[in-house]
A and B are shown apart, each in its own frame.
Chain A
Amino acid sequence: MGLLVVDPGFFTTVQDLGRPGARAFGVPLGGAFDRESLTLANALAGDEPGPAALEMTLRGGAFEARCDLGIAVAGAAVPAAIVAEDGSRRPVAVPSSAWLRRGERIELGRADQGARTYLATPGGFQVGAWLGSRSDERPVRQGDFLPAGPSRLPCRRPAAVDRREPPDALRILPGPDWSLLDDPDAVCSARFRIGSRSDRMGLRLEGEGGSISVATTADRLSAPVTPGAIQAAGGRLIVLGVSCGTMGGYPHVAQVISADLDRLGRLRPGDPIAFRTVATAEARALDREGRMRLRSLSLRIAAAARDGLG
Protein backbone atom coordinates (compact mmCIF):
# COMPACT_ATOMS: atom_id res chain seq x y z
CA MET A 1 0.00 0.00 0.00
CA GLY A 2 1.24 3.46 -0.81
CA LEU A 3 2.11 5.61 -3.78
CA LEU A 4 3.65 4.56 -7.09
CA VAL A 5 5.96 6.99 -8.88
CA VAL A 6 4.59 7.26 -12.43
CA ASP A 7 6.61 10.39 -13.34
CA PRO A 8 9.24 11.53 -10.84
CA GLY A 9 9.21 15.14 -12.06
CA PHE A 10 12.45 17.09 -12.32
CA PHE A 11 14.07 16.33 -8.97
CA THR A 12 11.91 14.76 -6.28
CA THR A 13 13.23 13.41 -2.99
CA VAL A 14 11.77 12.05 0.23
CA GLN A 15 12.35 14.49 3.08
CA ASP A 16 11.43 14.94 6.71
CA LEU A 17 13.20 17.08 9.31
CA GLY A 18 16.55 15.41 8.72
CA ARG A 19 19.21 14.31 11.17
CA PRO A 20 19.96 17.00 13.72
CA GLY A 21 22.55 16.22 16.38
CA ALA A 22 25.02 14.16 14.33
CA ARG A 23 27.21 16.86 12.80
CA ALA A 24 30.05 15.82 15.10
CA PHE A 25 30.12 12.58 13.07
CA GLY A 26 30.03 14.34 9.75
CA VAL A 27 26.32 13.72 9.16
CA PRO A 28 24.61 16.63 7.37
CA LEU A 29 21.26 17.89 8.64
CA GLY A 30 19.35 17.29 5.42
CA GLY A 31 15.57 17.09 5.44
CA ALA A 32 13.16 19.51 3.80
CA PHE A 33 14.79 22.64 2.37
CA ASP A 34 11.59 24.63 3.08
CA ARG A 35 10.62 23.33 6.51
CA GLU A 36 7.69 25.69 6.94
CA SER A 37 6.05 24.28 3.81
CA LEU A 38 6.75 20.70 4.91
CA THR A 39 5.22 21.52 8.29
CA LEU A 40 2.15 22.97 6.59
CA ALA A 41 1.79 19.87 4.40
CA ASN A 42 2.18 17.64 7.45
CA ALA A 43 -0.41 19.70 9.33
CA LEU A 44 -2.90 19.46 6.45
CA ALA A 45 -2.38 15.70 6.70
CA GLY A 46 -3.29 15.91 10.40
CA ASP A 47 0.28 15.38 11.59
CA GLU A 48 2.78 17.16 13.76
CA PRO A 49 5.86 18.40 11.86
CA GLY A 50 8.12 15.63 10.65
CA PRO A 51 6.58 12.63 8.81
CA ALA A 52 8.39 12.06 5.50
CA ALA A 53 6.92 13.77 2.44
CA LEU A 54 7.91 14.21 -1.18
CA GLU A 55 9.92 17.35 -1.93
CA MET A 56 9.36 18.23 -5.60
CA THR A 57 11.71 20.73 -7.20
CA LEU A 58 10.47 23.14 -9.91
CA ARG A 59 8.12 20.52 -11.37
CA GLY A 60 5.81 18.06 -9.66
CA GLY A 61 5.30 14.72 -11.38
CA ALA A 62 2.64 12.03 -11.29
CA PHE A 63 1.93 9.57 -8.50
CA GLU A 64 -0.63 6.76 -8.38
CA ALA A 65 -2.36 5.61 -5.20
CA ARG A 66 -2.31 1.84 -4.62
CA CYS A 67 -4.80 2.21 -1.78
CA ASP A 68 -7.10 4.98 -0.61
CA LEU A 69 -4.64 7.67 0.36
CA GLY A 70 -5.04 11.08 1.94
CA ILE A 71 -2.67 13.64 0.49
CA ALA A 72 -1.73 17.20 1.35
CA VAL A 73 0.26 19.63 -0.76
CA ALA A 74 1.98 22.85 0.27
CA GLY A 75 4.85 25.07 -0.85
CA ALA A 76 5.45 26.46 -4.32
CA ALA A 77 2.16 26.77 -6.22
CA VAL A 78 1.89 24.29 -9.11
CA PRO A 79 -1.14 23.35 -11.21
CA ALA A 80 -2.35 20.03 -9.81
CA ALA A 81 -5.21 17.65 -10.38
CA ILE A 82 -6.43 14.26 -9.29
CA VAL A 83 -7.01 12.05 -12.32
CA ALA A 84 -9.58 9.31 -11.85
CA GLU A 85 -9.38 5.95 -13.63
CA ASP A 86 -12.03 7.14 -16.12
CA GLY A 87 -9.80 10.11 -17.00
CA SER A 88 -11.87 12.74 -15.24
CA ARG A 89 -9.91 15.41 -13.41
CA ARG A 90 -10.51 17.20 -10.11
CA PRO A 91 -8.28 20.24 -9.55
CA VAL A 92 -6.18 20.41 -6.38
CA ALA A 93 -5.12 23.77 -4.97
CA VAL A 94 -1.77 24.39 -3.26
CA PRO A 95 -1.96 24.40 -0.29
CA SER A 96 -4.79 21.95 0.37
CA SER A 97 -5.63 18.41 1.34
CA ALA A 98 -7.58 15.81 -0.59
CA TRP A 99 -7.73 12.08 -1.00
CA LEU A 100 -7.01 9.65 -3.76
CA ARG A 101 -9.05 6.54 -4.28
CA ARG A 102 -7.07 3.46 -5.06
CA GLY A 103 -5.98 3.68 -8.71
CA GLU A 104 -6.28 7.45 -8.95
CA ARG A 105 -3.31 9.67 -9.70
CA ILE A 106 -2.21 13.08 -8.63
CA GLU A 107 -0.49 15.06 -11.35
CA LEU A 108 1.48 18.16 -10.50
CA GLY A 109 2.92 20.60 -13.05
CA ARG A 110 5.56 23.30 -13.09
CA ALA A 111 6.04 26.03 -10.52
CA ASP A 112 6.11 29.53 -11.99
CA GLN A 113 7.43 30.93 -8.76
CA GLY A 114 9.15 29.34 -5.83
CA ALA A 115 11.08 26.12 -6.04
CA ARG A 116 9.74 23.36 -3.82
CA THR A 117 6.33 21.78 -3.38
CA TYR A 118 5.65 19.15 -0.72
CA LEU A 119 3.30 16.18 -0.98
CA ALA A 120 2.52 14.65 2.40
CA THR A 121 0.30 11.78 3.52
CA PRO A 122 -0.98 11.02 7.04
CA GLY A 123 1.81 9.32 8.99
CA GLY A 124 4.30 9.94 6.18
CA PHE A 125 5.90 7.72 3.57
CA GLN A 126 7.49 4.70 5.24
CA VAL A 127 10.71 4.46 3.27
CA GLY A 128 13.85 3.26 5.05
CA ALA A 129 15.16 5.35 7.93
CA TRP A 130 18.63 5.79 9.37
CA LEU A 131 19.67 7.90 12.31
CA GLY A 132 16.00 8.59 12.91
CA SER A 133 15.25 10.10 9.51
CA ARG A 134 13.90 8.94 6.16
CA SER A 135 15.50 11.87 4.35
CA ASP A 136 17.31 10.74 1.20
CA GLU A 137 19.32 12.90 -1.20
CA ARG A 138 18.77 10.47 -4.10
CA PRO A 139 15.79 11.41 -6.23
CA VAL A 140 12.91 8.98 -6.63
CA ARG A 141 12.63 7.29 -10.03
CA GLN A 142 9.81 6.10 -12.20
CA GLY A 143 8.47 2.83 -10.82
CA ASP A 144 9.59 3.48 -7.23
CA PHE A 145 7.04 2.59 -4.62
CA LEU A 146 6.57 4.74 -1.54
CA PRO A 147 4.88 2.73 1.20
CA ALA A 148 2.16 4.47 3.19
CA GLY A 149 -0.81 3.29 5.22
CA PRO A 150 -4.33 3.74 3.80
CA SER A 151 -5.96 6.98 4.86
CA ARG A 152 -8.50 9.61 3.91
CA LEU A 153 -8.42 13.34 4.35
CA PRO A 154 -11.09 16.00 3.98
CA CYS A 155 -10.75 18.16 0.88
CA ARG A 156 -9.79 21.37 2.58
CA ARG A 157 -7.88 24.54 1.94
CA PRO A 158 -6.40 26.03 5.08
CA ALA A 159 -8.13 29.21 6.19
CA ALA A 160 -5.76 32.13 5.61
CA VAL A 161 -2.31 30.66 5.73
CA ASP A 162 -0.51 33.54 7.27
CA ARG A 163 2.75 33.36 5.37
CA ARG A 164 4.11 36.73 6.33
CA GLU A 165 5.47 38.49 3.28
CA PRO A 166 9.20 38.63 3.96
CA PRO A 167 11.33 41.69 3.31
CA ASP A 168 13.13 41.72 -0.01
CA ALA A 169 16.59 41.15 1.38
CA LEU A 170 17.75 37.99 3.09
CA ARG A 171 18.85 38.94 6.56
CA ILE A 172 22.34 37.95 7.59
CA LEU A 173 24.73 38.07 10.51
CA PRO A 174 28.47 38.60 10.06
CA GLY A 175 30.31 35.28 9.97
CA PRO A 176 33.67 34.27 11.47
CA ASP A 177 35.53 35.60 8.40
CA TRP A 178 33.53 38.80 7.87
CA SER A 179 36.67 40.81 8.62
CA LEU A 180 38.46 39.15 5.70
CA LEU A 181 36.12 40.86 3.22
CA ASP A 182 37.90 43.58 1.29
CA ASP A 183 34.68 45.58 1.23
CA PRO A 184 32.02 44.31 3.67
CA ASP A 185 29.53 46.90 2.39
CA ALA A 186 29.63 45.23 -1.01
CA VAL A 187 27.83 42.14 0.35
CA CYS A 188 24.78 44.24 1.16
CA SER A 189 24.94 46.76 -1.67
CA ALA A 190 25.51 44.24 -4.46
CA ARG A 191 22.67 42.45 -6.22
CA PHE A 192 22.90 38.74 -6.91
CA ARG A 193 21.09 36.06 -8.83
CA ILE A 194 20.76 32.40 -7.99
CA GLY A 195 23.07 30.49 -10.32
CA SER A 196 21.97 27.48 -12.30
CA ARG A 197 24.32 25.11 -10.47
CA SER A 198 22.41 25.44 -7.24
CA ASP A 199 20.94 22.55 -5.31
CA ARG A 200 20.18 21.34 -1.79
CA MET A 201 23.88 21.52 -0.90
CA GLY A 202 24.17 25.18 -1.75
CA LEU A 203 23.03 28.16 -3.78
CA ARG A 204 25.73 29.61 -6.01
CA LEU A 205 25.28 33.31 -6.45
CA GLU A 206 26.08 35.25 -9.56
CA GLY A 207 26.99 38.85 -8.89
CA GLU A 208 25.61 41.70 -10.90
CA GLY A 209 28.52 44.11 -10.98
CA GLY A 210 31.74 43.42 -9.15
CA SER A 211 32.97 40.36 -7.38
CA ILE A 212 33.24 39.83 -3.66
CA SER A 213 36.88 39.52 -2.73
CA VAL A 214 38.38 38.34 0.51
CA ALA A 215 41.88 38.61 1.88
CA THR A 216 43.52 35.35 0.93
CA THR A 217 44.53 33.23 3.86
CA ALA A 218 47.07 30.62 2.95
CA ASP A 219 46.28 27.19 4.31
CA ARG A 220 42.96 28.05 5.96
CA LEU A 221 41.88 25.17 8.15
CA SER A 222 38.38 23.81 7.63
CA ALA A 223 35.90 24.86 10.28
CA PRO A 224 32.37 23.79 11.20
CA VAL A 225 29.56 25.24 9.06
CA THR A 226 25.78 24.96 9.15
CA PRO A 227 23.02 25.56 6.59
CA GLY A 228 22.84 29.27 5.80
CA ALA A 229 26.59 29.80 5.95
CA ILE A 230 27.74 32.19 3.23
CA GLN A 231 31.17 31.34 1.86
CA ALA A 232 33.33 33.41 -0.46
CA ALA A 233 35.09 31.35 -3.10
CA GLY A 234 36.84 32.74 -6.16
CA GLY A 235 35.06 36.09 -6.05
CA ARG A 236 31.64 34.43 -5.77
CA LEU A 237 29.37 33.73 -2.85
CA ILE A 238 27.89 30.34 -2.03
CA VAL A 239 25.02 30.06 0.46
CA LEU A 240 25.11 26.60 1.98
CA GLY A 241 21.87 24.65 1.78
CA VAL A 242 20.08 22.30 4.14
CA SER A 243 22.12 19.23 3.14
CA CYS A 244 25.52 20.95 3.16
CA GLY A 245 28.52 19.16 4.62
CA THR A 246 29.53 19.69 8.20
CA MET A 247 32.81 21.50 7.53
CA GLY A 248 33.83 24.20 5.12
CA GLY A 249 37.21 25.25 3.82
CA TYR A 250 36.30 28.58 2.21
CA PRO A 251 36.14 31.85 4.16
CA HIS A 252 32.82 31.93 6.02
CA VAL A 253 31.89 35.57 5.70
CA ALA A 254 28.27 35.67 6.83
CA GLN A 255 25.33 33.57 7.97
CA VAL A 256 21.67 33.76 6.94
CA ILE A 257 19.50 34.15 10.04
CA SER A 258 17.46 31.13 11.10
CA ALA A 259 14.17 32.93 10.44
CA ASP A 260 15.13 33.26 6.76
CA LEU A 261 16.52 29.75 6.15
CA ASP A 262 13.29 28.43 4.63
CA ARG A 263 13.43 31.23 2.07
CA LEU A 264 16.61 29.66 0.69
CA GLY A 265 14.57 26.59 -0.21
CA ARG A 266 12.11 28.74 -2.18
CA LEU A 267 14.71 30.35 -4.42
CA ARG A 268 15.15 29.12 -7.97
CA PRO A 269 17.87 29.70 -10.55
CA GLY A 270 17.62 33.24 -11.90
CA ASP A 271 15.86 34.68 -8.84
CA PRO A 272 17.38 37.97 -7.64
CA ILE A 273 18.57 38.23 -4.05
CA ALA A 274 20.21 40.81 -1.84
CA PHE A 275 21.42 40.77 1.74
CA ARG A 276 20.91 43.00 4.74
CA THR A 277 22.70 42.70 8.09
CA VAL A 278 20.79 42.59 11.37
CA ALA A 279 21.93 42.40 14.98
CA THR A 280 22.18 39.03 16.70
CA ALA A 281 19.46 39.97 19.20
CA GLU A 282 17.07 40.85 16.36
CA ALA A 283 17.89 37.59 14.58
CA ARG A 284 17.10 35.62 17.71
CA ALA A 285 13.85 37.51 18.26
CA LEU A 286 12.77 36.87 14.65
CA ASP A 287 13.69 33.18 15.05
CA ARG A 288 11.61 32.89 18.23
CA GLU A 289 8.64 34.68 16.64
CA GLY A 290 8.78 32.50 13.55
CA ARG A 291 8.93 29.26 15.51
CA MET A 292 5.99 30.26 17.70
CA ARG A 293 3.90 31.33 14.73
CA LEU A 294 4.63 28.09 12.86
CA ARG A 295 3.90 25.97 15.91
CA SER A 296 0.47 27.52 16.45
CA LEU A 297 -0.33 27.34 12.73
CA SER A 298 0.63 23.68 12.66
CA LEU A 299 -1.46 22.82 15.71
CA ARG A 300 -4.51 24.66 14.39
CA ILE A 301 -4.42 23.14 10.92
CA ALA A 302 -3.60 19.63 12.09
CA ALA A 303 -6.51 19.75 14.56
CA ALA A 304 -8.86 20.92 11.79
CA ALA A 305 -7.67 18.11 9.51
CA ARG A 306 -8.33 15.49 12.16
CA ASP A 307 -11.73 17.00 13.07
CA GLY A 308 -12.69 17.01 9.42
CA LEU A 309 -12.65 13.22 9.44
CA GLY A 310 -15.36 13.28 12.11
Chain B
Amino acid sequence: MTTRLEPLGDRAFLARFDAEDDARRWAEAVRARSLPGLVDVVLAYRSAAVLADPDRVDLDSLERTLRSIEPADGPADEPARHVIPMLYDGPDLGDAAARLGLAREELIAAHAGRDFRVFAIGFLPGFPYAGYLPEELCGLARRDDPRSSVPAGSVAIAGRQTGIYPIASPGGWHLLGRTPLRIADPEAGRFPIRAGDAIRFRPIDRDEFAARTDERL
Protein backbone atom coordinates (compact mmCIF):
# COMPACT_ATOMS: atom_id res chain seq x y z
CA MET B 1 0.00 0.00 0.00
CA THR B 2 1.32 3.46 -0.83
CA THR B 3 1.09 6.41 1.46
CA ARG B 4 -0.99 9.21 -0.04
CA LEU B 5 0.98 12.23 1.07
CA GLU B 6 0.27 15.83 0.14
CA PRO B 7 1.54 19.20 1.34
CA LEU B 8 -0.50 20.77 4.11
CA GLY B 9 0.53 24.36 3.56
CA ASP B 10 4.27 24.98 3.21
CA ARG B 11 5.57 23.58 6.51
CA ALA B 12 3.56 20.39 6.90
CA PHE B 13 2.31 17.27 5.17
CA LEU B 14 -0.91 15.33 5.39
CA ALA B 15 -1.08 11.58 4.88
CA ARG B 16 -4.46 10.01 4.20
CA PHE B 17 -5.42 6.36 4.49
CA ASP B 18 -8.42 4.13 3.96
CA ALA B 19 -8.51 2.84 7.52
CA GLU B 20 -7.97 4.30 11.00
CA ASP B 21 -5.47 1.62 11.90
CA ASP B 22 -3.28 2.37 8.87
CA ALA B 23 -3.12 6.00 9.91
CA ARG B 24 -2.20 5.02 13.47
CA ARG B 25 0.56 2.65 12.40
CA TRP B 26 1.98 5.16 9.94
CA ALA B 27 2.02 7.91 12.59
CA GLU B 28 3.75 5.54 15.02
CA ALA B 29 6.29 4.59 12.35
CA VAL B 30 7.04 8.27 11.70
CA ARG B 31 7.44 8.98 15.41
CA ALA B 32 9.70 5.96 15.84
CA ARG B 33 12.12 7.34 13.24
CA SER B 34 12.85 10.40 15.44
CA LEU B 35 13.38 12.52 12.35
CA PRO B 36 15.09 15.84 13.01
CA GLY B 37 13.00 18.97 12.63
CA LEU B 38 9.60 17.41 13.32
CA VAL B 39 7.40 19.67 15.43
CA ASP B 40 4.28 17.50 15.64
CA VAL B 41 2.82 14.27 14.36
CA VAL B 42 -0.94 14.65 14.69
CA LEU B 43 -3.12 11.58 14.18
CA ALA B 44 -6.83 12.02 13.51
CA TYR B 45 -9.04 9.18 12.29
CA ARG B 46 -7.77 8.19 8.83
CA SER B 47 -5.19 10.92 8.46
CA ALA B 48 -2.00 12.10 10.07
CA ALA B 49 -0.33 15.48 9.78
CA VAL B 50 3.40 15.99 10.13
CA LEU B 51 4.45 19.54 11.04
CA ALA B 52 8.07 20.48 10.45
CA ASP B 53 10.44 23.29 11.39
CA PRO B 54 11.90 24.54 8.10
CA ASP B 55 14.93 25.92 9.98
CA ARG B 56 15.88 22.39 10.98
CA VAL B 57 14.95 20.16 8.07
CA ASP B 58 14.81 20.36 4.29
CA LEU B 59 11.15 19.90 3.46
CA ASP B 60 11.75 18.20 0.10
CA SER B 61 13.91 15.54 1.67
CA LEU B 62 11.45 15.15 4.54
CA GLU B 63 8.69 14.61 1.98
CA ARG B 64 10.69 11.85 0.32
CA THR B 65 11.33 10.20 3.66
CA LEU B 66 7.67 10.36 4.66
CA ARG B 67 6.62 8.85 1.33
CA SER B 68 8.92 5.94 1.93
CA ILE B 69 7.30 5.10 5.27
CA GLU B 70 4.36 2.71 5.19
CA PRO B 71 1.82 1.72 7.82
CA ALA B 72 3.35 -1.74 7.88
CA ASP B 73 6.56 -0.14 9.21
CA GLY B 74 4.69 0.76 12.39
CA PRO B 75 4.98 -1.26 15.56
CA ALA B 76 3.14 -4.56 15.47
CA ASP B 77 2.36 -4.49 19.18
CA GLU B 78 -1.07 -3.59 20.46
CA PRO B 79 -1.64 0.05 21.36
CA ALA B 80 -1.57 1.16 25.00
CA ARG B 81 -4.81 0.40 26.82
CA HIS B 82 -6.32 2.51 29.58
CA VAL B 83 -9.07 1.30 31.90
CA ILE B 84 -11.17 4.26 33.01
CA PRO B 85 -13.22 3.79 36.20
CA MET B 86 -16.57 5.46 35.69
CA LEU B 87 -19.61 6.22 37.80
CA TYR B 88 -22.65 6.06 35.53
CA ASP B 89 -24.66 8.86 37.14
CA GLY B 90 -24.71 11.45 34.35
CA PRO B 91 -27.59 13.90 33.97
CA ASP B 92 -28.32 12.61 30.45
CA LEU B 93 -28.12 8.88 31.24
CA GLY B 94 -31.87 8.32 31.59
CA ASP B 95 -32.77 10.51 28.65
CA ALA B 96 -30.13 8.93 26.38
CA ALA B 97 -31.30 5.43 27.32
CA ALA B 98 -34.92 6.35 26.62
CA ARG B 99 -34.10 7.86 23.25
CA LEU B 100 -32.04 4.83 22.28
CA GLY B 101 -34.82 2.49 23.45
CA LEU B 102 -32.65 0.86 26.08
CA ALA B 103 -32.85 0.27 29.80
CA ARG B 104 -30.17 2.16 31.78
CA GLU B 105 -28.45 -1.11 32.59
CA GLU B 106 -28.39 -2.07 28.92
CA LEU B 107 -26.85 1.26 27.97
CA ILE B 108 -24.20 0.88 30.68
CA ALA B 109 -23.40 -2.68 29.64
CA ALA B 110 -23.04 -1.65 26.01
CA HIS B 111 -20.82 1.35 26.83
CA ALA B 112 -18.62 -0.37 29.41
CA GLY B 113 -18.32 -3.77 27.82
CA ARG B 114 -15.71 -3.13 25.14
CA ASP B 115 -12.50 -1.43 24.10
CA PHE B 116 -12.75 1.79 22.16
CA ARG B 117 -10.01 3.18 19.96
CA VAL B 118 -8.93 6.80 20.52
CA PHE B 119 -9.05 8.27 17.03
CA ALA B 120 -7.90 11.76 17.83
CA ILE B 121 -7.22 14.20 20.67
CA GLY B 122 -8.73 17.61 20.26
CA PHE B 123 -11.49 20.10 20.89
CA LEU B 124 -9.89 20.55 24.30
CA PRO B 125 -6.31 19.70 25.29
CA GLY B 126 -6.43 16.00 26.17
CA PHE B 127 -10.05 15.31 25.07
CA PRO B 128 -10.09 11.82 23.48
CA TYR B 129 -12.46 11.17 20.59
CA ALA B 130 -13.05 7.43 20.91
CA GLY B 131 -15.26 4.86 19.23
CA TYR B 132 -16.87 3.61 17.39
CA LEU B 133 -19.90 2.99 19.57
CA PRO B 134 -21.85 -0.22 19.08
CA GLU B 135 -24.87 0.18 16.85
CA GLU B 136 -27.35 0.36 19.72
CA LEU B 137 -25.63 3.45 21.20
CA CYS B 138 -25.23 5.35 17.93
CA GLY B 139 -27.28 8.15 16.55
CA LEU B 140 -27.73 10.72 19.32
CA ALA B 141 -27.05 14.10 17.74
CA ARG B 142 -25.38 16.73 19.85
CA ARG B 143 -27.68 18.48 22.30
CA ASP B 144 -29.64 21.40 20.88
CA ASP B 145 -28.71 23.42 23.93
CA PRO B 146 -25.03 22.82 24.73
CA ARG B 147 -24.20 23.14 28.41
CA SER B 148 -22.18 26.19 29.29
CA SER B 149 -20.12 24.12 31.71
CA VAL B 150 -19.53 20.39 31.77
CA PRO B 151 -17.55 19.21 34.83
CA ALA B 152 -14.04 17.76 34.42
CA GLY B 153 -14.09 13.97 34.17
CA SER B 154 -17.49 13.83 32.47
CA VAL B 155 -17.88 10.92 30.03
CA ALA B 156 -20.22 11.57 27.14
CA ILE B 157 -21.47 10.22 23.82
CA ALA B 158 -22.59 11.78 20.54
CA GLY B 159 -23.01 10.25 17.10
CA ARG B 160 -20.77 7.21 16.90
CA GLN B 161 -18.29 8.44 19.48
CA THR B 162 -17.56 8.71 23.17
CA GLY B 163 -15.26 11.17 24.90
CA ILE B 164 -14.00 12.38 28.26
CA TYR B 165 -13.83 16.05 29.25
CA PRO B 166 -10.36 16.47 30.84
CA ILE B 167 -11.21 19.92 32.16
CA ALA B 168 -14.44 21.79 32.77
CA SER B 169 -15.69 23.26 29.52
CA PRO B 170 -18.80 24.06 27.53
CA GLY B 171 -20.07 20.92 25.83
CA GLY B 172 -22.89 19.54 23.72
CA TRP B 173 -22.47 15.79 24.16
CA HIS B 174 -24.76 13.59 26.28
CA LEU B 175 -23.32 13.07 29.75
CA LEU B 176 -23.44 9.44 30.87
CA GLY B 177 -21.31 9.76 33.99
CA ARG B 178 -17.95 10.74 35.40
CA THR B 179 -14.54 9.30 35.99
CA PRO B 180 -12.90 10.31 39.30
CA LEU B 181 -9.49 10.30 37.59
CA ARG B 182 -7.64 13.22 36.13
CA ILE B 183 -7.17 11.95 32.60
CA ALA B 184 -4.84 14.81 31.67
CA ASP B 185 -3.04 17.72 33.31
CA PRO B 186 -2.63 20.19 30.47
CA GLU B 187 -0.87 22.69 32.71
CA ALA B 188 1.79 20.12 33.56
CA GLY B 189 1.97 18.83 29.99
CA ARG B 190 0.76 15.38 31.16
CA PHE B 191 -1.39 13.64 28.55
CA PRO B 192 -1.40 9.89 29.26
CA ILE B 193 -4.04 9.11 26.62
CA ARG B 194 -2.72 9.42 23.09
CA ALA B 195 -4.42 9.09 19.74
CA GLY B 196 -4.19 5.45 18.72
CA ASP B 197 -4.53 4.13 22.30
CA ALA B 198 -7.42 1.97 23.47
CA ILE B 199 -9.72 2.89 26.36
CA ARG B 200 -12.31 0.84 28.24
CA PHE B 201 -14.77 2.04 30.86
CA ARG B 202 -15.23 0.08 34.10
CA PRO B 203 -18.37 0.84 36.12
CA ILE B 204 -17.69 1.81 39.73
CA ASP B 205 -19.85 2.79 42.71
CA ARG B 206 -20.01 6.03 44.64
CA ASP B 207 -17.59 4.82 47.31
CA GLU B 208 -14.90 4.02 44.78
CA PHE B 209 -15.57 7.34 43.02
CA ALA B 210 -15.08 9.20 46.29
CA ALA B 211 -11.97 7.23 47.21
CA ARG B 212 -10.29 7.83 43.86
CA THR B 213 -11.31 11.42 43.22
CA ASP B 214 -8.44 13.42 41.70
CA GLU B 215 -6.20 10.39 41.35
CA ARG B 216 -4.09 10.57 38.20
CA LEU B 217 -4.74 8.19 35.34
Contact = CB atoms under 8 A, between A and B. Distances in A.
B12 A226 contact: yes
Interface string A250-276: 000001111000000000000000000
A221, A245, A280, A283: which has the most chain B beta carbons within 10 Å?
A221
B124 A26 contact: yes
A22 B46 contact: no
Contacts of B41: 24
Contacts of B191: 25-26
Nearest to A228: B9
A222 B8 contact: no
A24 B40 contact: yes
Contacts of A255: 8-10
A247 interface: yes
Interface of A: 20-27, 130-131, 173, 175-176, 221-224, 226, 228-229, 245-247, 255-258, 280, 283-284, 287-288, 291
Contacts of B189: 22, 130-131
15 contacts: A23-B51, A24-B41, A26-B121, A130-B187, A131-B187, A131-B189, A173-B10, A222-B120, A223-B14, A223-B16, A228-B9, A255-B9, A256-B9, A258-B11, A284-B10
B186 A258 contact: no
A285 B160 CA distance: 43
Contacts of B184: 25
A226 B125 contact: no
A223 B9 contact: no
A221 B45 contact: yes
Interface of B: 6-12, 14, 16, 39-49, 51, 54-55, 59, 120-127, 129, 184, 186-189, 191, 194-195
A26 B123 contact: yes
A255 B9 CA distance: 5
B40 A222 contact: no
A288 B58 CA distance: 11
B186 A287 contact: no
A221 B40 CA distance: 20
Contacts of A223: 14, 16, 44-45, 47, 49
The 9 closest A-B pairs by CB, nearest first: A224-B49, A283-B10, A255-B9, A247-B122, A130-B187, A221-B45, A25-B191, A224-B42, A26-B121
A290 B90 CA distance: 52
Contacts of A26: 121-127, 191
Contacts of B47: 221, 223-224
A25 B9 contact: no
Contacts of B55: 291
A247 B46 contact: no
A22, A23, A26, A246: which has the most chain B beta carbons within 10 Å?
A26
Contacts of A228: 9
B46 A221 contact: yes
Given A26-B121, A26-B124, 19 more contacts: A23-B49, A24-B41, A25-B186, A26-B125, A26-B127, A27-B186, A131-B189, A175-B8, A221-B47, A222-B44, A223-B14, A224-B48, A226-B8, A226-B51, A245-B123, A246-B42, A256-B9, A258-B10, A283-B9
Contacts of A280: 7, 10
Given A176-B14, A221-B45, A223-B44, A245 B122 contact: yes
A187 to B, nearest CB: 15
B18 to A, nearest CB: 12
Contacts of B59: 284
A24 B119 CA distance: 11
A99 to B, nearest CB: 33
Given A21-B40, A130-B188, A176-B8, A288 B194 contact: no
A210 B208 CA distance: 59
A19 to B, nearest CB: 9
B146 to A, nearest CB: 16
B186 A226 contact: no
A182 B93 CA distance: 42
